[in-house]
Structure 1
C-alpha cells in the first residue's frame, strides 16, 4: 500500500515552485468583492449582465454570496421591476447605456404612488423604509453613461454609483485576464483609449507585488500607448527604478492588431478546439447538446477547465486531439490498474493502510469523473472534425496561409455564401484572405459584397464597413504586401512540425506559427529583437526592445510576462507554454480577454443596424 500511495501522491509534492502565484490574485479579488458587498448592509438582490456573471463565477463560490446576504441573483435582461426583492438592490454591470432604460424602470416603479391607496395605507407606506439601489460599474462609469443617466433623470439621490474593477482575474495558474471582450471594439473601432488605461493599471499593480520589470519589449501602437501611460505615471510619482527585487525579468507587450491572422485561424490544440466548437467563458464550459454521458435533455452542465487540482486536464489541454485522446486512454487504463491493486488491500489491513486506501479512492474517483468528461468531449470534437465541411474549411485556410492562388479560396467563399452558411464562417475566410493578400481585388470584393447583401441582408454592409475600419477586410490598393517576406524570414510556416513531441510552437496550428509567438520566442532566446528588427518594422505599429548590451539579466529566480492587448487565443497560449518548457523559463500570459475567430467576427456583427 505504501508503494502505491507514494506513486500516486509523491509527484504532487515535487511541483516546481513558481515565482507567480495565481492564488494570491484569487484571494485579493475575493477580499475586494467581500468588502464591496459588506459595505452594503442587509439582504440583497444582485442583478448582473453576462460578463459580470462570468467574472463572479471565476472569483466567488455561490456559497460565498449567500454568506454576504445575497439572497437573490438574476440577469438584468430577465429582471422586471415587479421581480425585485430584498431591501438592497445591487445592479452590477459593464458601462453599457442600453441597460439604463431598464434601471430607470426599476426606480420609477419603486417611487410611483400605489393605486387605490387610502390615506392610512399611504401614511404607513411612507413610514416604511424604501429599497436602496446601488449601481456598480465594472470597471468604471464612462462619460457616455454619466451623460445618459443625466438625460434619463437617474440621479445620485435615487441610486448610489460605485466603480469597481476586478483587475486581472486568474483563469489558470499561468493565465490572467481582464475579462473585457468589449475592449476589442472599444480599441479598434471606437478609438476608446480607456482599455489602455486599464491595462496600464493592471501592470502597475503587478509591479507593486513583484517589483519593477527591467526589460520591456513592445510591438504595436496600443502597446506603445500603454508604456507611455506607465512612464508618465512613474515620472509623476517618482517611482524607484531599482530592479534588484524584481521577480519578473521581462515584459513583452503585444497589440492584437499586429497579428489579426492568428485569431482567424482554426486552433488545433484540445483547449482551442473546445473554445472553437463550444465557447469557453473564463475557464467555464457550458455543455448543453448531449456531448457528455448522463446529460439530461435540456439540462446544461458546467465544466471547469483548469489545471488546478486536475492533472488530467493539465496533461491534455495543450495537445493536438489525437495525442490528447491517447493520454486520456492511457490515464483510464492506469486508473483501472490502481483499482485492481486496491482490491488486494480490502482484508486484514492496518488502520494506516485503510486511511491511505480511502485517500487513493477519493483521488481516483475524482480523476475518473475528469476522464469520463473528456472522453465524451473528445468524441464529440472528433465527430465534428471528421465532417467534410470542417476538412474543406481547414484545407482552404491552410492553402491561404501558404499563399496558394486566392481564386480557389474566393470561389469556395462564394459557394458557401450561396449555400447559406453562417455569415461569420464566410467572413472569417474572406478576412483571412484579405490579410494574407493585403486586400481583395476590387471586382472580386464587390461581387462577394453583393452576394452577402443578397443572402444575409443589407445590414451586413455595416458589418463589412466595420471590418474595414478595423483593418481586417480591405480592397487591394496597390500597396506592398509584407506578409510573404515576413512569413519566410521569421519562419512562420513549418512544413515538418512534429505533433507528438513538438519542438516548434507552430504545432498548435499544425504548421503555422503566429507572429506574436515568434516574437516571444526571439525575445526569450536572444534577449533582443535587434536581429529581426528589419523584418518586423514593416508590421504596422511602433516597436521597442532592449539593446543586447543593455538587457538586465536578474540573478534571482524570475519569470517572463507576456501581455496581449486586444485578446489572445488558446492556440497562442499553448504555443507559449511549449516555449516555456523548451527554454525552462516560467511564462505568465496576461490579456484583456480570450478570443477566437467566432468571438471576433460576432463582436463586430453585434448591434449592427441599418
Structure 2
C-alpha cells in the first residue's frame, strides 16, 4: 500500500519507541531482569532485539506467570505488562513471596501503554505498592509492516462491543494524536459508525487540551505546518461484522486461518519448516539442482515462530494473492532462483565471480524462504481439499449471496450434531444471522439448545456474548437491510479473475468486504465496474481445491532441480466540506489544503479515466451510505482559526484507514489492491486495534471453564 518512494515511513515510529525503551532501561542502574507480559513480548520483539536490551543492562528475560520465575540472584526486576487486574495479582503475589523468602529486590513496573488507577489501587490493597516504582512505556503503536500499524490489543472487540469498555478507543485516539504530532494535522476526517463518532469526539477533546497546554507554556503550535496524510477514514467494526465471519482465501489469510498469525509471527511445526542446510555452491554440480554433496540436514524437532512480513521478498509476492494462483507464482519464483544459481557457470572473469558471490547470500535466503512457502502451500492444499472445508465455503458464499438460506440452516444443525469445532459452527450461524437480519426465534432457540447440549453449559454465556456483540440476534421483523447493501455496494461479483483481478472481491473469490467498499466509495466515488449475475459458491470451492492440488509439484521440481476498480468519471471532482471544527467555517474550495491538496499528478491506468483532485468523503454518495447502518462522519480540521487546513507535504495522497475493533488480513490485502490500481496514485496506511479472523473473534467471545 505504501511505495518505496512514499513520504510516510513506519521507521520513525519504531525509532521513537526504541528511544523511549532505552531511556526507561537506562533510568535503572546496573544489571536488571525483564519480566514481560506474554501479550507484550510479540510487539516488543518488533521494536527491539535482545542485543539492544543487553547493551542497556538487561541480563535475563522471563514471561510473567502466576508462579514466580527463578530469577536467581537478580537485584532488580522490571515488569513490563498490560494494566490488567490478573497481572497485578500475579505481581503482588510474587513480590510477597520474594519478601517472605528474604530476597531484597528492587521492583519497577512499567504499564503498557499507560498506567491504570484501578491497578495501582489493587497493588495498594495487597500491601506492595510502596515496594514498586511505577511508570509507563507508551508502546501504543506497533508497526507490523510499512503500511500496517496496530495497537495489538487482542481483546479489543470484546472489550468494546460486549463489556462496554471503551478504554481501547481512548488508546486509539491517543495513537492518532501521536501520529498527527509526528506527521502533521490530518485535514479531512471521514467515518462510519457510532464508535467512529466517539473516537472523533475524543480526538477533538485531546486536540483542544494539547493546544491549550502549548499556549499556557508559550509553545508554538504542537503540530507541524505540513501533513503527510491527506485524510483519515475511521470504520467501526460493527458496520461490517459479515467479513470476519467469512473464510479468508488469500495466501496470508489462509495461513492465518490454519496456523494463526500473531504480531506477524506464525508458528510452524517440523513438517512445515525446511531443513537448515543451505545449498552448496562449492563445486560445479552444486546449487539448488543438486544436494548430493551436502551432508544430510537435520529436520527441526519442535515448532518455531517465523516472521511473515515484507522483509521476506517471497512472502511479499504471495501474501495478497488468492490461493488459486499460488501454484503458478511459486513455479515462476523457483525457475527464477534456479536461473540465478545457474549464472555461476557463466562467471569467467574475477569481476563476474565477485558479482555472483555478492548476491549468493540473497539467493540462499530466497531459496530457504521458497522451500518454507512450498511446505506451507502443501499444508494449505490438504486443508482446502477437505470435503468439509469445501462444504463450509459453499455455505458461506451461498449465505452472502442470499441463496438457499433454508438449506444452510440445516447444514449448521448438521455441524452441531457432528460436533464440528465450535468456531466453525458459530461463524456460520452468526453469518446466517447477519445476512438475514436475525434468526427466527423458533429456530434460534432450537440451535442454542443443541449447542449447549453438544459443546457444554458454559456456552450459554458464549451465546449471550454473541448477542451483545450483535453477531447473533433474533429476527424481530421482516425488515432486513443486507439485500439492499449487497446490491448498492455490489458485494457479490461474478466471473472473478484471481490471476489478474480487477475488483477487491478476489480476496473472497466473489464477495467484496463491506468495509473496503466503503473505503472505495469515500476515495473514488465508485464501487468498481458493473457486474454480471451472482457468482455461485460451488465453483469457488472447487476452484480453490483443484488449483491447490498442484501447488507444489512444478515448484518443487524446479527447486530440487534448481472490470476496472477506478471511477470512470472524466471531469474534475471537488467536494465542499459540509461541517467545520470548533465553529470555524470551512474555507470555500474545501479541498483540504491551502495549495489544493490532493490535486497532485495523476497516474492514469490504461483503459481508465483520470481522476483529478478527488476529495475523500461521502458527498455525492449519500443514498448509498445511508443504506449501511451507523452514524456518518465527515469533518474538516482547521490548523488555526481563520486559516486554511494544513498543506500537504507533497502532492502525494495517503489515506489513513482506522479500524475500531480489528481488521482481517484480507481487508488489508484489498486495500493494497486499491492502492495498486488507483489512477491518482493514492496510498493507504492501516491503523487498527488488532488483526483478527473469525476463529479468534469467536474464541475471544467464548467463555472458558477450567475443568481440571
Please give the TM-score of this superposition, normalised by the length of structure 1: 0.90
Runs of 5+ consecutive residues of structure 2 not aligned to the other structure: 213-220, 276-297, 526-614, 637-643
Query: 1:477 Cα deviation (Å)?
Result: 0.9
304, 326, 347: which one aligns with 1:301: 304
Query: 1:398 Cα deviation (Å)?
Result: 0.7
> Do the aligned partners of 1:19 and 1:558 also contact (CA within 8 Å) in 2?
no
Aligned to 1:366: 365
Cα distance, 1:80–1:296 mapped onto 2, change above 3 Å? farther
Are residues 1:74 and 2:62 paired? yes
> Do the aligned partners of 1:185 and 1:603 also contact (CA within 8 Å) in 2?
yes
Q: Distance in 1 between matches of 2:222 and 2:493?
A: 41
Q: Distance in 2 between matches of 1:83 and 1:244?
A: 50
Aligned to 1:137: 111
Are residues 1:222 and 2:311 paired? no
- Which structure 2 residues correspond to residues 463-482 of structure 1 after superposition, within 5 A? 463-478=462-477, 480-482=479-481
Runs of 5+ consecutive residues of structure 1 not aligned to the other structure: 1-14, 115-124
Farther-moved stretch of structure 1 (20-29 vs 239-248): 239-248
Are residues 1:558 and 2:653 paired? yes
Cα distance, 1:104–1:78 mapped onto 2, change above 3 Å? closer
3-state secondary structure, aligned to 1:531: coil
524, 538, 541: which one aligns with 2:630: 541
3-state secondary structure, aligned to 1:35: helix
Aligned to 1:263: 244
Q: Deviations over 1:303-322 (max 9, x none)?
A: 111113x3222111100113
Aligned to 2:675: 580
686, 693, 702: which one aligns with 1:589: 686
> Do the aligned partners of 1:439 and 1:474 also contact (CA within 8 Å) in 2?
yes
Task: Indicate the structure with greater helix content.
Answer: 1
Aligned to 1:390: 389
Aligned to 2:232: 251
155, 165, 177: which one aligns with 2:138: 165
> Do the aligned partners of 2:181 and 2:222 also contact (CA within 8 Å) in 1?
no
Query: 1:538 Cα deviation (Å)?
Result: 4.2
- Which structure 2 residues correspond to residues 299-338 of structure 1 after superposition, within 5 A? 299-308=302-311, 310-338=312-340
- Which structure 2 residues correspond to residues 51-62 of structure 1 after superposition, within 5 A? 51-62=39-50
Q: Distance in 2 between matches of 1:560 and 1:341?
A: 43
Q: Distance in 1 between matches of 2:59 and 2:225?
A: 49
Q: Distance in 2 between matches of 1:368 and 1:297?
A: 17
Aligned to 1:508: 507
Are residues 1:103 and 2:76 paired? no
Q: Distance in 2 between matches of 1:492 and 1:48?
A: 43
Q: Distance in 2 between matches of 1:497 and 1:546?
A: 36
Q: Distance in 1 between matches of 2:53 and 2:499?
A: 44
Q: Deviations over 1:451-502 (max 9, x none)?
A: 1111111110000001101111111111621110011011011122211111
Aligned to 1:602: 699
Q: Distance in 2 between matches of 1:307 and 1:559?
A: 19
Query: 1:440 Cα deviation (Å)?
Result: 0.8
Aligned to 2:408: 409
Cα distance, 1:552–1:511 mapped onto 2, change above 3 Å? farther
- Which structure 2 residues correspond to residues 279-298 of structure 1 after superposition, within 5 A? 279-288=260-269, 290-294=271-275, 296=299, 298=301
Cα distance, 1:236–1:67 mapped onto 2, change above 3 Å? closer
Aligned to 1:193: 166
Q: Distance in 2 between matches of 1:538 and 1:161?
A: 49
Q: Deviations over 1:153-200 (max 9, x none)?
A: 232x21122222212111111111111112212111121221111111
3-state secondary structure, aligned to 1:530: coil
Cα distance, 1:26–1:406 mapped onto 2, change above 3 Å? same
3-state secondary structure, aligned to 2:474: coil
Query: 1:142 Cα deviation (Å)?
Result: 2.9
Are residues 1:428 and 2:427 paired? yes
3-state secondary structure, aligned to 1:427: helix
3-state secondary structure, aligned to 2:677: helix
Query: 1:551 Cα deviation (Å)?
Result: 11
Q: Distance in 2 between matches of 1:573 and 1:225?
A: 24
CA RMSD of aligned residues (A): 2.3
3-state secondary structure, aligned to 1:315: helix
Farther-moved stretch of structure 1 (531-540 vs 402-411): 531-540
Aligned to 1:150: 124
> Do the aligned partners of 2:34 and 2:79 also contact (CA within 8 Å) in 1?
yes
> Do the aligned partners of 2:458 and 2:705 also contact (CA within 8 Å) in 1?
yes
> Do the aligned partners of 1:81 and 1:105 also contact (CA within 8 Å) in 2?
no
Q: Distance in 2 between matches of 1:86 and 1:343?
A: 57
Runs of 4+ in 1 over 4 A off after TM superposition: 81-85, 239-244, 295-298, 550-555, 606-610
Query: 1:70 Cα deviation (Å)?
Result: 1.9
Query: 1:61 Cα deviation (Å)?
Result: 1.2
Aligned to 1:274: 255
- Which structure 2 residues correspond to residues 338-353 of structure 1 after superposition, within 5 A? 338-345=340-347, 347=348, 349-350=349-350, 352-353=351-352
3-state secondary structure, aligned to 1:41: coil
Cα distance, 1:85–1:530 mapped onto 2, change above 3 Å? farther
> Do the aligned partners of 2:243 and 2:513 also contact (CA within 8 Å) in 1?
yes
3-state secondary structure, aligned to 1:170: strand
Aligned to 1:11: none
> Do the aligned partners of 2:507 and 2:670 also contact (CA within 8 Å) in 1?
yes
Query: 1:43 Cα deviation (Å)?
Result: 1.8
> Do the aligned partners of 1:93 and 1:136 also contact (CA within 8 Å) in 2?
yes
> Do the aligned partners of 2:184 and 2:228 also contact (CA within 8 Å) in 1?
yes
Q: Distance in 1 between matches of 2:87 and 2:60?
A: 19
Q: Deviations over 1:41-61 (max 9, x none)?
A: 222221222211111122111
Are residues 1:174 and 2:147 paired? yes
Please give the TM-score of this superposition, normalised by the length of structure 2: 0.78
Aligned to 1:9: none
> Do the aligned partners of 1:42 and 1:87 also contact (CA within 8 Å) in 2?
no
Q: Distance in 1 between matches of 2:61 and 2:69?
A: 14
The total of aligned residue pairs comes to 575
